[in-house]
A and B are shown apart, each in its own frame.
Chain A
């Protein structure tokens, strides 16, 4: 027994070790400000990240740089286009973020100097950071589709950034006479919200079926396969036969140019002249990503899958649609999940700690009719420098689910949006 009794030296060695272990923690406590973080972009990724950073460590100085004082959310904006929802339900502000101590810089970020670690705002103000989070979402690749431009988007709206474009497309559909042709063009991968064009086609078809039944919708696609494809196609056969036609790449679906003056879309085989044209164009990371030097030649931002640190610049992280997140899709759910992981990693790095290896979830709901929801879900983890699906975790709603399940998924989708909005902006 006596042999087991610790000597004073053993004891001091052990408590000494304990003290060493707590040093980073105490240093973090002792600092008045634990670090300066700037987040560029106030969408689901950026606003989540700013808020989570403050929740994790209220002593962090967190500044959110966002040009628009009102955020208009994309998820459910297809319901607005179909006349099923008010745009105001999509809109949020940053009051709650400000209340919890996030500094708001409601200006455009005009530049980033990764060496000096500064962000320059549109009015010339220069802000310094220890860590920068770039979350600008998407920009339209205006050079990606001949004939398409900012002016063209006023005639042929993309409505792929919610707000005025959403309202414009809604008004065009309302103004169209019964019997009119609607054409949607969907881009090649990658782009924001992989199932989005198909949900939009479904909900516009629902609007036409109920309000303008002699009309037709053609979905021209630059792909042969898409997210939840079987589920969408089964639903279209059931709900919108003869009304909604999908033209895949292999059948000449790729739009190669548009003419906004003539309101025409050309493929290699045919020119379409619809009453309403919704051009979902090719996309890239928001422009500030390019200015910060975190976008590669693809237009998107390569990242480390553990911390979301840029592969191209140190002390800068990229989250949300702008990031190349491997198997994780460009969705609001993914943006929110990535933002929380990134915030924890940034807080850990600023405190001198080691970020945890994360697991992330994505769930995307799509509505094919107001009471008919379908989903895709998956769990992701870092492997070989990328985010990959955990085997067996990814999948879509069952093909043979009864109407009650479809209705339940539509309700859960609505609940998801409320939950997300409350977590991020509420």
Chain B
């Protein structure tokens, strides 16, 4: 028997509202924490994978790439079933969970659009 539904009262309603608000606050804060803190290992990737479309490089950007694409590529690199230069070695340094967290973090980033002027590098 559901107590709330059969005996509605002002107090549980307020409780529910506060609980919902608190829940939202917590999930918002954890979302912020996720946004602020990159998963372990992710900060190294931007050494090769450019954050901006301006950079001339054969290495594909990771920002905005769907999580499942990146995860699939990383697993294939690790298994040796995808042609690679260095990623076959690097992917072996991460667990499934780590690869998934890194892929999800980059999927949530926005690739900076190309500037009109090409980069000086």
Contact = CB atoms under 8 A, between A and B. Distances in A.
Interface of A: 1-2, 5-6, 8, 11, 14-15, 18, 21-22, 25, 52, 56, 89, 92, 333, 336-337, 340-341, 344, 348, 356-361, 363, 375, 377-380, 390, 392-395, 397, 405, 408-409, 411-412, 414-423, 425-426
B116 to A, nearest CB: 14
A416 B59 contact: yes
B22 interface: yes
Interface residues of B, number: 47
B104 to A, nearest CB: 16
A112 B98 CA distance: 39
A359 B56 contact: no
Given A11-B18, A423-B47, A25 B41 contact: no
B93 A341 contact: no
Interface string B13-26: 00100110010011
Given A361-B45, A419-B49, A1 B86 contact: no
25 contacts: A1-B3, A5-B3, A18-B22, A25-B29, A337-B44, A344-B38, A344-B43, A358-B40, A361-B47, A363-B48, A375-B85, A378-B89, A379-B90, A379-B93, A390-B93, A397-B85, A412-B86, A416-B57, A416-B59, A419-B48, A422-B51, A422-B52, A422-B55, A422-B119, A425-B121
B54 A422 contact: yes
Contacts of A337: 43-44, 47
A53 to B, nearest CB: 13
The interface residues of chain B, by DSSP majority, are classed as loop
B111 interface: no
Contacts of A361: 41, 44-45, 47, 90, 93
B47 to A, nearest CB: 5
A340 B119 contact: no
B98 A359 contact: yes
B89 to A, nearest CB: 5
A348 B38 CA distance: 12
A377 B55 contact: no
B37 to A, nearest CB: 6
Contact of B58 (A22, A363, A412, A420): A412
A14 B22 CA distance: 9
B121 A2 contact: no
A14 B59 CA distance: 47
A340 B85 CA distance: 24
B36 interface: yes
A22 B29 contact: yes
Interface of B: 1-4, 11-12, 15, 18-19, 22, 25-26, 29, 32-33, 36-38, 40-41, 43-52, 54-59, 85-86, 89-90, 92-94, 98, 119-121
A340 B52 contact: no
A412 B90 contact: no
Contacts of A2: 1, 3
A8 B12 CA distance: 9
Contacts of A422: 50-52, 54-55, 119, 121
A175 B11 CA distance: 91
A422 B34 CA distance: 25
A57 B56 CA distance: 29
Contacts of A340: 43-44, 46
Contacts of B4: 5
Given A52-B43, A344-B37, 5 more contacts: A359-B40, A377-B89, A393-B92, A418-B50, A419-B49
